[in-house]
């Protein structure tokens, strides 16, 4: 286990990279996490240093292809910082963003707390704690030059590649009777690429991903709190974007979200 001083050193470096929009190849040996637990400790300290509110959580690497791409064997949780959330209809800045992709995602807003406990949460009780379902678009990024080689512990410390996030309006449809794992999602860069995916690409279904997060946080002694938003991972192959592009994600009866990018 890393010392508190090493955790603080890593968090200070990562937060300085967030602010300056720079990247590094790897964290220094003395403060490089070797375990997921240490990665989460650094991630928590990054939030504290930022002074931002905790808006919610993201889940990265929710498909076999995504896990293979970044060399991990399972999903990763990251914190969504309030200052990084962009209102729907506002322009998402691309300056300093190196990945430059948009990811259509199912997002849930929690209606009540799921506190840490010894027994795993079941999907039915996790979904019962949800207040609303939203279409969303995440715009991830990393503070590592080659994030595909950074490893799970460093990627968790780097907030699981969290960057910008846009939450759409809550669906008016009765989403609880919809099989989200089979639900088709279409994403398009206007005058550019168009792709189709489904909820099955998110750990087999968005509800499965949300349950994974509730249990991941429970194991860390963290409450998934009422009011927090959880975005569950991309439903389709990420869409490459550039300055002044417009991305539309169509979730059918569950709604749609449109995001425009600045320079």
Check: CB of residue 251 under 8 Å from CB of residue 183: yes
Helix (H) or strand (E) holding 216: helix 206-219
- Kindly tell me if the per-residue pLDDT of 66 is higher than 90: no
Check: CB of residue 201 under 8 Å from CB of residue 236: yes
pLDDT digits (tens, 9 = 90+) for 195-239: 999 999 999 999 999 999 999 999 999 999 999 999 999 999 999
Q: Tell me, what's the pLDDT at 118?
A: 98
- Kindly tell me if the per-residue pLDDT of 191 is higher than 90: no
The pTM is what?
0.96
Tell me the mean pLDDT in the region 30-46: 97
Check: CB of residue 34 under 8 Å from CB of residue 153: yes
Between these two residues, 107 and 64, which has the higher pLDDT value?
107
Q: Tell me, what's the pLDDT at 263?
A: 86
- Kindly tell me if the per-residue pLDDT of 259 is higher than 90: yes
- Kindly tell me if the per-residue pLDDT of 68 is higher than 90: no
Q: Tell me, what's the pLDDT at 19?
A: 92
Q: How many residues does the chain have?
A: 263
Which of 191, 213, 193, 194 lies closest to 202 in space, CA to CA? 213
CATH class of the domain comprising 4-261: alpha beta
Check: CB of residue 162 under 8 Å from CB of residue 84: yes
Q: Residues 79-94, buried b or exposed e (16+ Cβ, 10 A)?
A: bbbeebbbeeeeebeb
Which of 216, 240, 249 lies closest to 106 in space, CA to CA? 249
């Amino acid at each position: 286990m890393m010392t508190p001083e090493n955790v603080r050193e890593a968090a200070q470096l990562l937060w300085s990279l967030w602010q300056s929009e720079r990247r590094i190849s790897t964290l220094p040996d003395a403060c490089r996490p070797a375990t997921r637990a240490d990665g989460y400790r650094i991630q928590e300290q990054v939030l504290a240093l930022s002074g931002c509110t905790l808006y919610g959580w993201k889940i990265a690497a929710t498909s076999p292809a995504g896990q293979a791409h970044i060399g991990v064997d399972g999903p990763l949780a990251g914190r969504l910082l309030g200052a990084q959330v962009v209102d729907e209809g506002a322009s998402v800045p691309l300056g300093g963003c190196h990945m430059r992709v948009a990811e259509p995602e199912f997002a849930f807003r929690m209606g009540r707390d799921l506190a840490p406990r010894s027994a795993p949460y079941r999907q039915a009780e996790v979904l019962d704690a949800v207040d609303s379902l939203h279409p969303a678009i995440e715009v991830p990024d990393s503070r590592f030059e080659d994030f595909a080689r950074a490893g799970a512990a460093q990627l968790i410390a780097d907030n699981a590649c969290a960057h910008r996030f846009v939450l759409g309006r809550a669906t008016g449809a009765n989403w609880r009777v919809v099989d989200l794992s089979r639900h088709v999602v279409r994403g398009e860069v206007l005058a550019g690429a168009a792709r189709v995916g489904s909820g099955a690409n998110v750990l087999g279904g968005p509800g499965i991903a949300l349950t994974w997060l509730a249990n991941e946080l429970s194991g860390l002694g963290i409450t998934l709190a009422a009011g927090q938003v959880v975005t569950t991972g991309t439903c389709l192959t990420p869409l490459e974007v550039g300055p002044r592009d417009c991305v539309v994600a169509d979730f059918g009866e569950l709604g749609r979200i449109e995001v425009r990018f600045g320079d």
